[in-house]
Chain A
Amino acid sequence: MNEVQTAPVPRRNLELVLLILALGVGAAAFYLVGSTTEGVDNSDFYVQMSIMAALALVVHVLLRIFAKYADPVILPITIALNSLGLAMIHRIDLAKGTSQSARQLLWTAIAIVIAAAVLWAVKDHRLLRRFTYIALLVSILLLLLPLIPGLGVTINGARIWIRMGSFSLQPGELAKITLSIFFAGYLSSNRDLILMAGHKFGPLQLPRLRDMAPMLIAWLLSIGVLVVQRDLGSAILFFGLFIVMVYVATARISWVLIGLLMVAVGGIVAGLTMSHVTRRLDVWLNAFDPAIYQATGGSMQIVEGLFGMADGGLFGTGLGAGSPYRVPLANSDMIIASFGEEIGLVGVTAIVLLYMLLVSRGLRAALGSRDTFGKLLAAGLSFTLGLQAVVIIGGVTRLIPLTGLATPFMAAGGSSLLANWIIIALLLLISHNSRRPTSGVSGPTDEIATPTKPKTSITKAVKSK
């Protein structure tokens, strides 16, 4: 009886309100980019926004059925980012006469449908733990696919695509999910062994090789493949994922430091020996050198992006009123620069805060999760989203060298959209499991989750308003 009183509230209605808000933001952006461009038939606005709204509602309804305690903020943020991206892609289309936005909408639909299918099929994330080693196998397979002659294609110097008919896909994007599942599964099972058994070197305690071996093999394989494929961005992403998941599992900061040291050493070696990395560094450091600006594959892209953002200033030129199309890949790699130009520092800060909030909600789900596997998986997936956003925004702002990582949910590109939507589905499931009322017989828990009482009171406060 007592339990009924303190049971967490589903908060699906809050989600619905936020969802309408998010769709409103997307629709406004979409409408603006069409209306400010003279002589443009803006009729596809209604079609595209209706499809987007319908898709969002489908996920919302599914959550009401399968995961009604899921975090109510995650889906609206994702929908907001996705529709903003769609609006900008549409805007670049109008300027260039391309039709990328229709393609992006199609991919959004596919991604959301698959995410919905994941919600429906998985229901409880703990199911995934059974597939720990299969996930490893699938990861390696996905990473190797582009290297198969006839199937893989090289685009912009990186061999990370496979092409089937007119469909091309970056299987590596999906590998970040399967690798997360493997790391989470393996670490949750062997965490104690890794922590307890091992040799001591001064202040450092290193685990036995046989306990760490599967992890190291998985990590080395993925990094190795990426080096062969010349995909710098994903290499950074996988490295980060590995370090963070080991850290979350063991709480040993010294291993993080060793990891970062390895990044530094690896980075310097790559910078000195691998020509394309050297070139990337040169373009980054000497971006404003006219010779490097003019060279093919030079700094023109990044520098034009900077000029565009400087043009936008604090408040931007207004959607549809700038010229972000002057920047190569304005609708994918450089989409943050496009936003910076047209909605200004204020607008792009809002976007960054959305990412920050999304990642925070994901990590909140990790904190609340009642099982180690869920904690690790949610932490790993949230970190992946966050690191992607940070690496690409850092690249566009020239804080770090620009890499070809996709801006999550916004950049044109199907594979990344699909992978990130699946991540959202998994985060929603984990948050549902961490917040739903515990039935009398709860599964094995490694740690006591955050007490639910204060949360209830917060919810009540919100409701009483």
Chain B
Amino acid sequence: MNQAIKRVWIALTMLFIVCLGGLSYIQFFDADKLTDNALNKRQLFREFDLPRGAILVDGKPIAESVPTDDGQFEYQREYTNAEMYAHLTGYYSLANGTTQLESSLNDWLTGSSSDLLYDRLLAMFTGKKTEGASVELTLDGDLQKTAFNAIPDGVRGTVIVTDPKTGDILAMASKPTYDTNDLAVHSTSKAAENLKKVSKIDGLSPYLNPAISNLEYPGSSFKILSTVAALESGKYDLDTSINNPTSVRYKNSTRSMNNFGEGVCAREPRAKLAFIFAQSCNTPFYEISKTVGNKAFGDVAERFGFGQQLNIPQRVTPSQFPAQDADESELARMAIGQGSNKVTALQMNMAAMAIANNGVIMKPNMIDKVIAPDLRVVEEPKPEKFSTATSKEVASQLKELMAGPVTRGTAMNAAVEGVDFRAKTGTAQLRTENGVAYVNSWMTGFAPADDPQVAITVTLQDVDYDTGHNTTGAIMKKMLKAVFNK
């Protein structure tokens, strides 16, 4: 009998040892894997109980963590001028996730970045909570406000202002927008309900920043690149006369490429680039694209940023110009900003930045500096070259061509007295409804011509032609007046 009792003891002891094995596996050997599991929200829970750094514009917080006693977490994220900055800051929410700058700056804001090791050690030894660093943006608060207010309510539009010499983003506003505070509430049910409400707004996704994520047809604004391609090929210069018929039949197709119906292009059946560019004639680009060829055209697009990875620090969706796969008709379509040619608003702004800065694109960037809890500046990104888009010579020729639309062409409605503004417009037709054409309307340019301070891009999506043309010009005018205090 005692033998049996001893065996029972051995059996139970072995079971206990197996349990200890199980505990060791979970708490030691498998612990890292469990911590990294997608379902594991503990890191996030911890973050919500810590003071997260602020996002600052002109030294004032547009996103900050304020102590709360709602019982769930120690801090509540609060956004100031939430709708104006919604697409930039994104939101910081347990239920809805973390998006945009709140996501891409997370390591700084939580203080977990390796550059903040010193601060974490200090917090550990003094028994204080780890505080996150604050991030000052390059934005100009007044310019952001002007841009935001310039876009009419009820219209899908984006305005971007950058400094072409540094790449600093000075303003980036889009409508429609939403209140990020609604999505950052702690109550899970309320956060889900608000997310549902926001998602129902037409033309708005709470996950995307339209300026860097939405791909649209660039229309004629892309002719900046097409003209660069033409000039680089050496087969065209500013004095070359190019055929400018009212219509060209696409190869192997019943459809044709037409010049726009208002008739100015029709005045010159053979025209020079200055006229073609100012009046935005289409048909000469059929021949140009054929002459330049797929490879050279694709190279130009790539140098301007198409298909390239870019973080500002939010990830920018690469714009598309699939030159390799295009046949003659398709390349022609893409040359006038249609077909498979799709761009972000920032990409078209980079086109203006390139011309303004003698062919060199400075890397667009939104971070001015990162400030540790003890006000030490831990990071201050220096201006960085993104790419050499084209030669200085071609850039200066383009600069000259871009005067045309403002002085006598399609961008006259944006002209401001005393500001030497250079620009290109674009209109990409989307659909026709009850005889009204709905278009993407673009204007991208820079000023002043001799010493460019800003590159500005305005785009409206899915508006009727007249509204598009008039409003885009009006918004651009407002931006120029704000920048140059006119």
Q: A297 contacts the other chain (Cβ, under 8 Å)?
A: no
CA distance A313 to B3 in the complex (A): 39
B256 within 8 A of A: no
- A352-B16, A399-B18 given; A310·B23 CB < 8 A: no
Bitwise interface map of B from 1 to 35 toward A, beta carbon under 8 Å scored 1, else 0: 11111111100110110111011111110111011
Q: Tell which of A248, A390, A446 touches B8, judged by Cβ atoms closer than 8 Å.
A: A248
Residue in B1, B6, B12, B37 whose beta carbon sits within 8 Å of that of A288 in the complex: B37
Residues A390 and B12 in contact, CB atoms below 8 Å apart: yes
Please tell me which one of the listed residues A367, A393, A394 contacts residue B2 in the complex, with CB atoms under 8 A apart.
A367
Q: Are A386 and B27 in contact (CB under 8 A)?
A: no
Residue of B nearest to A340 (CB): B27
Contacting residue for A340 out of B4, B12, B23, B38, CB 8 A:
B23
**Bound complex: CA of A288 vs CA of B37, how far in Å?**
9
Query: Separation in Å of the B14 CB from the closest CB of chain A?
Result: 10
Among B4, B7, B22, B45, point to the contact of A399 (Cβ < 8 A).
B22
Which of A127-135, A341-349, A424-432 sits within the interface? A341-349
Instruction: Report chain B residues within 8 Å CB of A387.
Output: 12, 15
Other-chain residue from B2, B9, B15, B27 in contact with A344 (beta carbon distance below 8 A)? B27
Residues of A within 8 A of B27 (CB): 309-310, 312-314, 340, 344-345, 348
Contact, CB under 8 Å: A251 / B3: yes
Contact A323 B15 (CB under 8 A): no
**Distance, CA A318 to CA B2, complexed state (A):** 43
Question: A459–B76 Cα gap in the complex (Å)?
Answer: 62
Contact with A along B460-486 (1 / 0, CB 8 A): 000000000000000000000000000
Interchain CB contact under 8 A, B5 and A379: yes
In chain A, what residue has the closest Cβ to B14? A390
Contact partner, A386, options B15, B32, B42, B45, Cβ 8 Å: B15
Determine the residue in chain B with the shortest Cβ distance to A379. Answer: B5
| Smallest beta-carbon distance A41→chain B, Å | 17
Do B45 and A323 touch (CB < 8 A)?
yes
Chain A residue contacts of B13, Cβ below 8 A? 356, 360
A366 CB-CB contact with B under 8 Å: yes
A249 lies within 8 A of chain B by Cβ:
yes
Contact with B along A379-417 (1 / 0, CB 8 A): 100010011011001100111000000000000000000
Q: When A247-B8, A323-B45 are in contact, do A309 and B3 touch as well, CB less than 8 Å? A: no
Chain B residues near A394 (CB-CB < 8 A): 15, 18-19, 22
Residue of B5, B23, B39, B42 touching A393 (CB-CB under 8 A)? B23
Shortest distance from the beta carbon of A373 to any chain B beta carbon, whole Å: 12
**Contact status of A326 and B42, CB under 8 A, knowing A340-B27, A345-B27:** yes
Bound form: Cα–Cα A321–B28 in Å: 19
> A72-80, A111-119, A300-308: which one contacts chain B?
A300-308
B5 cross-chain contacts in A, Cβ below 8 A: 248, 363, 366-367, 375, 379
Q: Establish whether residues B16 and A293, one from each chain, have CB atoms under 8 Å apart when the complex forms.
A: no
In the complex formed, the residue of B with least CB distance to A393 is B19
How far, in angstroms, from A251 to B5 measured CA to CA in the complex? 9
Q: Flag if A363 contacts B9 (CB, 8 Å).
A: yes
Report whether A308 and B16 are in contact in the complex, using a CB–CB cutoff of 8 Å.
no
A313 to B31, CA, bound (A): 7
Assess the B24–A390 pair: CB atoms within 8 A.
no
CA distance A340 to B19 in the complex (A): 13
Say whether A355 faces chain B, with CB atoms less than 8 Å apart.
yes
**Closest beta carbon of chain B to A224's beta carbon, Å:** 26
Given A375-B5, A383-B12, A390-B12, decide whether A309 and B42 contact each other with a Cβ distance below 8 A: no
Instruction: State whether the Cβ of B40 lies closer than 8 Å to any Cβ in chain A.
Output: yes
**Contact A340 B1, beta carbon cutoff 8 Å:** no
Residues of B with C-beta under 8 A to A89 = none
Chain A nearest Cβ from B321, distance in angstroms: 38
Would A363 and B8 be within 8 Å (CB), given that A290-B39, A323-B42, A399-B18 are in contact?
A: yes
- Taken together as a complex, chains A and B put the C-alpha atoms of A100 and B42 apart, in Å, by 25
A348 to B37: give the CA distance in the assembly, Å: 23
Say whether A348 contacts B23, CB under 8 Å.
Answer: yes
| Known contacts A359-B12, A383-B8, A390-B15, A372 near B26 by CB under 8 Å | no
Interface pair B12/A386, CB less than 8 Å apart: yes
Closest to B3 in A: A251
Closest to B26 in A: A309
- Complex contact A251–B20 (CB within 8 A): no
A388 nearest CB across to chain B (Å): 11
A244 at the interface (CB under 8 A from B): yes
From the candidates A288, A340, A389, name the one contacting B26 in the complex (CB within 8 A). A340
CB <8 Å contact, A367 and B23? no
Q: How far is the CB of B107 from chain A (nearest CB, A)?
A: 20
Q: A311 at interface (Cβ–Cβ under 8 A)?
A: yes
Once the chains bind, are B6 and A311 in contact (CB under 8 Å)?
Answer: no
**Residue A447 is within 8 A (CB to CB) of chain B in the complex:** yes
Q: Report yes or no: B42 in contact with A349, Cβ–Cβ below 8 A.
A: no
What separation, in Å, do the CA atoms of A379 and B3 have in the docked complex? 12
Task: Tell which of A248, A293, A359, A450 touches B39, judged by Cβ atoms closer than 8 Å.
Answer: A293
Kindly list chain A residues whose C-beta atoms are within 8 Å of the C-beta of B9. 359-360, 363
Minimal beta-carbon separation of A219 from chain B (angstroms): 18
Residues of A432-451 contacting chain B, CB below 8 A: 446-447, 450
**How many whole Å from A278's CB to the nearest CB in chain B?**
23
Give Cα A139 to B479, complex, Å.
87
Q: Is the CB of B16 within 8 A of A306?
A: no
Nearest neighbor of A348 in chain B, beta-carbon distance = B23
Chain A residues with CB under 8 Å of B40's CB are: 307, 310
Q: Given the complex of chains A and B, what is the CA–CA distance between A398 and B18 in angstroms?
A: 12
Q: How far is the CB of B327 from chain A (nearest CB, A)?
A: 45
Q: How far, in whole Å, are A367 and B3 apart by their CA atoms in the complex?
A: 9
**B50 vs chain A, min Cβ distance (A):** 13
The docked-state distance in angstroms from the alpha carbon of A144 to that of B2 is 35
Task: Give A386's nearest chain B residue, CB to CB.
Answer: B12
CB neighbours (8 Å) of B26 from chain A are: 306, 309-310, 340, 397-398
Which of A293, A308, A314, A386 interacts with B28 by CB under 8 Å?
Answer: A314
B residues near A398, Cβ cutoff 8 Å: 22, 26
Check A367/B42 contact, CB under 8 A, given A359-B12, A397-B26, A399-B22. no
Residues A390 and B34 in contact, CB atoms below 8 Å apart: no
Roughly how many angstroms separate A22 CA and B37 CA in the complex, as a whole number?
38
Q: Which of A293, A306, A366 contacts B34 (CB 8 A)?
A: A306
Residues of B within 8 A of A248 (CB): 1, 4-5, 8
Instruction: Point out the residues of chain B lying under 8 angstroms from A372, CB to CB.
Output: 1
The reply to whether A397 and B19 contact each other, CB–CB distance below 8 Å, is yes
B37 with A251: CB separation less than 8 A: no
In the bound assembly, the distance between CA atoms of A8 and B25 in angstroms comes to 43
Beta-carbon contact of B8 and A310 below 8 Å: no
Q: What is the distance, in angstroms, from A145's C-beta to the closest C-beta of chain B?
A: 30
Q: Are B1 and A326 in contact (CB under 8 A)?
A: no
Give the chain A neighbours of B31 by CB distance below 8 A: 309-311, 313
**How far apart are the CA atoms of A323 and B7 in the complex, in Å?**
40
- With a cutoff of 8 Å between Cβ atoms, the chain A residues found around residue B8 in the complex are 244, 247-248, 363, 379, 383
Binding site for A on B (CB under 8 A): 1-9, 12-13, 15-16, 18-20, 22-28, 30-32, 34-35, 37-40, 42, 45-46
Closest 4 CB pairs of A and B: A397-B22, A310-B34, A345-B27, A310-B31
Q: A310-B27, A375-B1 are in contact. List 15 more A-B contacts (CB 8 A).
A: A248-B1, A251-B3, A293-B39, A310-B32, A314-B27, A326-B45, A348-B23, A348-B27, A352-B16, A359-B12, A393-B19, A397-B26, A398-B26, A399-B18, A450-B2
A-B contact pairs, 25 of them (CB 8 A): A247-B8, A248-B4, A249-B1, A250-B4, A290-B38, A308-B42, A310-B32, A311-B42, A313-B27, A314-B28, A323-B45, A323-B46, A345-B28, A349-B20, A359-B16, A363-B8, A363-B12, A367-B5, A383-B8, A386-B12, A386-B15, A386-B16, A390-B19, A394-B18, A397-B26
